[in-house]
Chain A
Amino acid sequence: MGLAANSNVMEIEAEKLLSKKIKRRVRLTPGRLIAIIFLCIVALIYVYPIFWMLDGSFRPMIEIFNLPPRFFQFGAGWPHLNTYSLNNYIKAFNDWSVGTSFFLSVLVTVTNVALTILVTSLCAYAFAFLRFPFKNILFYFILFSFMLPTITQISPYYKLMSTLGLTNTLIGLIVPPAISAMGVFLLRQFYIKLPYSLIESALIDGASHFKIWWNIVLPLSKPALAALSIYQFRGIWNDFLYPMILLRDDKLFTIPVRIKLMDSVNFNKPYDAIMATGFLFSLIPIVIFLIFQRYFIEGLSGGVKG
């Protein structure tokens, strides 16, 4: 036994050495060079629309639609940054109350993510650690609810919300999406991998389940909570259809609906202000992505929205 294990270890060590050697031999072959150039060109084309939005958000309206794009008019004065100003941002904030909308977008998203974490993790805790009658049936019930796309029943949904008095309120945007079956599954999957002895010893010490959930399980499940938060953040931050239907008062508009409102002006459409708002709004997810990159794939692959 011991010998076999030993030789196994040696094999692994040998493999490590081998792979190190392989890594050291990395060279820039012509094939690789072509692949790199190809990928870089594709990537540059790929990010161009975002670059255009960034560039346009600082330029006066007449330069936004220059062809060739103002930034790519090479020659004297390139890259023509002398016309850059914050006027578009000022216009967006002053004329279109983008500041208020931005605050509302942040408020709705943050409260929703917090509420989602509380509601779904409590539920997941019960399904992972507690025993109660009809547990399996209830779990299948939630599994079933996961498959119901509420968006197909948008008019009964609207009717319900207006009966409950939740149209034209922020609560109507925050509470319903917090009922995320996806969150319950994700967290339950994580919880059942935690050692049950943790819970048991805390119970013996006289802790209540609520305390165990709050003091032990929640702090331990940070990676799963991060993935769930990112999934939820993306959904709510980008939510458009529900705010558009539910909100009547443009004082309550979140950014996506605000952009739609700015765009619906037919005369003197504020292209410049839309670009500034769009870029500012996109900046937050991009920054969050750069900080939490590793949680992103997990968080997003939970559900891909078209």
Chain B
Amino acid sequence: MKKDEGRQGKVLKERFINRRGVREAINGYVFIAPFLIGVIIFQIYVFASGFYYSFTDAQGLNPPSWIGLANYKQLIHEILTGGEFWRAIRVTFIYELGCLATQIPVAFVLAFVLNSLPFKKLQNILRAAFFVPVLINTIIVAWLFRQLFNPDQGLINWLLGVFGYHTRIDWLQNQTLAPILLIIVSFWQWTGFHMVYFVSQLQTIDPNLYEAAKIDGATPSQILLRITLPLMRPAVAYVMVTSAVGGLLVFDVIFMLFGGSSIGIFGPGNSAKALVPYIFDKAFTSEFRLGLASAAGWLTFLIIMIVNIFQMKVIGLGASREEE
């Protein structure tokens, strides 16, 4: 905004009082009106009414009545006593950290190896192959993996058998395996995406830097540690920040991966009921508790904001220090 103030500067300020300025202002409001009205209706109003409902016992079609902090008290109580909401938070963070810890390092290694290949054509083909899962709907991905991990007719158990491990693993009905399964599916879907982004960033590094380092007698591992990694740090930070919120709001993959079985919509014993599934469950499937769902939604929003601020502080500051 500063930029165009400087550009138009005084002229515009003087012009502002005359007719053209008024016309411009009217134009401005007309131009932003559709968007602004949309934001107010579909976001601000929704969040505001959710805030109101979170203090009521709104349920189904009953008229809501004020119950103060009771919904929040229940949720806090669940957090403190290891109840349902606490389990939702826990599984969300297990999923989130599992995704970050597996996808980003593997994506980086793959990108590094791919980028070191001097054959452009091959590079493009491989890059496209790794990118394809990103293009497939999460619903379909989860459905495919449910078939692949089917204990009796799935490919995975059969492959384990081929390699000599004959124990029948019941992937879809095991409470401890459920979050791991989610991490595996997410890994398959997103690693290629991160890799392609890393490759595009690796290609912005000046090749002369590598040449100079080689002439100075640096070993390949030194080049990786001293040149590539520091220069890639902003890219890694960017991927972490942008994928974090999506991970905290995970829903589709959980709903579809376990949805077909009879042992709970969100995994065996609801062991994969993350935050959004928890809200969904309270709002639609079990009790239609609009008030409690809204309160849980506000707490989830709060958690996301805290994670965001934490990331900005830790990763954001780290990145800017690198630039100095």
Contact = CB atoms under 8 A, between A and B. Distances in A.
A153 B297 contact: yes
Given A131-B16, A238-B137, A263-B260, A119 B38 contact: yes
A112 B294 CA distance: 27
B89 interface: no
Contacts of A263: 143, 256, 259-260
B27 interface: yes
Interface residues of B, number: 107
Looking at chain A's contact residues, the main secondary structure is helix
A150 B139 contact: no
A10 B248 CA distance: 53
A42 to B, nearest CB: 7
A300 B305 CA distance: 22
A50 B136 contact: yes
A150 B304 contact: no
Given A155-B290, A297-B200, A131 B118 contact: no
Interface string A151-184: 1111111111000000000000001101101001
A160 B139 contact: no
Nearest to A257: B139
Contacts of B41: 160
Given A15-B208, A153-B50, A154-B293, A50 B260 contact: no
B42 A196 contact: no
A300 B190 CA distance: 12
Contacts of A149: 245, 249, 301, 304
Contacts of B28: 126, 130-132, 135
B122 A196 contact: no
The 10 A-B residue pairs with the shortest CB-CB distance in the complex, in nearest-first order: A132-B28, A179-B38, A155-B283, A126-B31, A152-B297, A306-B246, A156-B50, A132-B25, A130-B28, A123-B35
Interface of B: 1, 3-4, 7-8, 12, 16, 21, 24-29, 31-32, 34-36, 38-39, 41-47, 49-50, 53, 99, 110, 113-114, 116-119, 122, 126, 128-141, 143-145, 147-148, 153, 155, 158, 186, 188, 190, 192-193, 196-197, 200, 207-208, 211, 238, 242-243, 245-253, 255-256, 259-260, 275-276, 279-280, 282-284, 290, 293-294, 297-298, 300-301, 304-305, 308
11 contacts: A39-B117, A43-B126, A119-B34, A147-B305, A153-B301, A156-B47, A157-B46, A160-B42, A179-B42, A241-B251, A256-B137
Given A138-B32, A240-B252, A297-B200, 16 more contacts: A15-B208, A49-B144, A49-B188, A119-B34, A145-B39, A154-B284, A154-B297, A157-B42, A184-B35, A196-B8, A259-B140, A278-B144, A289-B135, A290-B128, A300-B134, A304-B193
